[in-house]
Structure 1
Amino acid sequence: MFKVFIAADIEGTCGYVDWAENQPEDALRREEMTAEVNAAIAGALAGGATDIVVSDMHMLKQNIYHGRLPDQASLISGTKRRWMWMDTVQACDLVFLIGLHARCGSPCAVLPHTMNTLITGLQLNGVDAGEALISAVCAGHFGVPVGMASGDRAFIDEIRSCLPGLETVVVKEAVGSCAALNFHPEICKSKITEAAENATRRGIKGEFKPYCLQEPVVLRLEVTWPGYAEALSLIPGVRRNGGREIYYTGALPEVISVISLFVNWVSKAT
C-alpha cells in the first residue's frame, strides 16, 4: 500500500486572483479547486498509490466537493485542527501541495499571505515560512516527504528554494497582487496529473527526503495589532518583543500549537 496526502488550497489554483465576493464566483473557484485535486489524485493512482487523503486548507476548509472525488479518496474538512491542515499525515507516505500561494510579503505573487492577512511575518529557526514550508515541516516531523506542488510561479520558486527536486506545476504568473496571467485550465490539470504520477513513482522508490527542523524550534511571529501579541504573551513560554512580535522556543508540536491558537482562536476573538 502507498498512501498520498494532498493538502489543497485555493489561491494557487488556475484563475483565482482575488478573494471571492459573491456566491457564483465562489462556486466557480471551488469547481476549479476540486478539479485540480482530482487531477492530482488521477496522477497519484496512475503512479501506484492505493489510497488518498485530501485535506482542505482554505478558510473554513469546506470548499472541495466531496462527492466528486474518486472512491479511493477521503476528505478532511473543517477548522480548528491540531496540526493546522496536516492532521493524519503520519499515516501517509508522500505529500502533494495543490493550489498553494507564496508567503506573506512575497513580491510578484498572487495573493501572497501566510494563513491570514493578520500575520505579517513568520519564521521557523530564522527561515521565512509560508504555508508550504509549514506543511513540509509538519510532514517531516513524522518522516513524510513532500513530492509535488502546484501554484503560481512565485510560490513554485519559493518551495523549490527549500525543497529542490520535487515535481512542480506553474498554473499562473502574477501581473499584480490581485491579477495573473492564467494558463489554460485543461493544460494545467494535465500537467498536474503528469507531475503527480511522476512524484508518486519517485516516492515509491524513496527519492524524496523529509524536511526536518532542528529542535528546539524557534518561532518568530509578527502580527498586525499589538492586542494579538498581548493575547499570545499569556501562553507560558511566549516572549513578547515590542508591540507586534512574539517569540517561542520549543518542540515542533508546541510551536504548531502556538500558531494554531492564533490562527484558529485569538485572531477570531479579538
Structure 2
Amino acid sequence: MPPRLKKTNAESIKSYMTRSSATKKVIVEKNSQTKEKEDDMSVSENENRNDSKTYVTSTEMGQITETILSKFKNVEDLIENRVCSKIEELKTEMKVEIRGIQNEILQIKETVKENEKKIIGNEEKIKCIEETLPQNQNNLLKKIKLLEEEILVKEIHDRKRNLLIYGVKEEKEENIQEVVTHFLLTSLELSKEEVMKIKLCAAHRLRKPAYQNPRTENAPRAFIIVLIEQCHRDRILNVAKEKLNGRSKMSVRSDLPATLKKKRAQLVQKAFEIRKNEHLKTRIRVVKADVWLEVKGKSDIDWNRRYN
C-alpha cells in the first residue's frame, strides 16, 4: 500500500474518534442537566410536602391545647366543689365537737368543785388522824407486844410436858425408848418401879443446829421426850437439878420456843461466869413469856433478878 493511503486512513480514524468523544460528552452533559432538573423538582416537592405537614400539626396542636384546657377547667371546678363540700362538713363536725368539749369542760368544772369540797373534808380528817396517830401507834405496838406474849405463853403451855436432854451418848441404830429408860435408871437413879410408871408420848433425837459452838460441835445430839403426865415431867426435872447440876456433862431442861431458848442459852453462859467469878448461886426461871436469871448469896434469903 502506498504511504499516502496509509496516512489518509489514520487521519480518518482519528477524526472519527474525536467526533465520537465529543458526542459522548454532549450526551453526558445533557443527562447531567436532566438529573439536576429532576433533583430540583424532587426537592421542591419535598418542601411543599413538609410545609403541608407542618400546617396540619399546628392545627392539631391547637385543638389538643383547647381540649386540655377545657379538661383542666372541669377538673378545677370539680376539685373546688369537693373542697368546698369537705370544708363545710369539717365545719359542721368541728361545731359538734366544740359543743361536746364545752359540755365536758362544764362537767369537769363541776367535778373539780366537788373534789375540792372532798379534799377540804379529807384534809380535816387527815389532820385529825395525824394528831391521833402517835397515840394510836403506841396503842397498836402495845397490842402487838401483848399478842406476842400471849402467843409465847400459849406455846410454852403447849410444850410444858416436853423435856430436852443433853449430853447422852449417841449410838448407831439405837432404840430411843431404851436410851431414855437407861438414862432415868443410871443417871437420875430413879427406881425401876418409878421408871415403869413414867409413860412417854414421843421421843426422838433432834437435828443439829445450823450454827454450833466449837466447844460443843462434837457433842451428841440432844433428844426430846414428851410425857403424858405433868407430874412425871416435874419429877424428872427436879431430880436432874439435884443429880446433874454441875456434876455431869448431861443436863435436862424444859422445852421452850426458839426465841426463849436462845435467850436461855445466853443466860446459862452468864450464870456460869457469875458462879465462877462472884461465887453466887444462880437459877434460870421462865416467867410468863420471858426468861429470868436470878442470883442468891450465902446471906440472902430471896432470889434477886440479874439484868446485866
Q: Give the alignment's TM-score, normalised by structure 1.
A: 0.21
Give the structure with higher Rg (CA).
Answer: 2
Give the number of the structure whose residues are more often strand, by fraction.
Answer: 1
Q: Give the alignment's TM-score, normalised by structure 2.
A: 0.19
Give the number of the structure whose residues are more often helix, by fraction.
Answer: 2
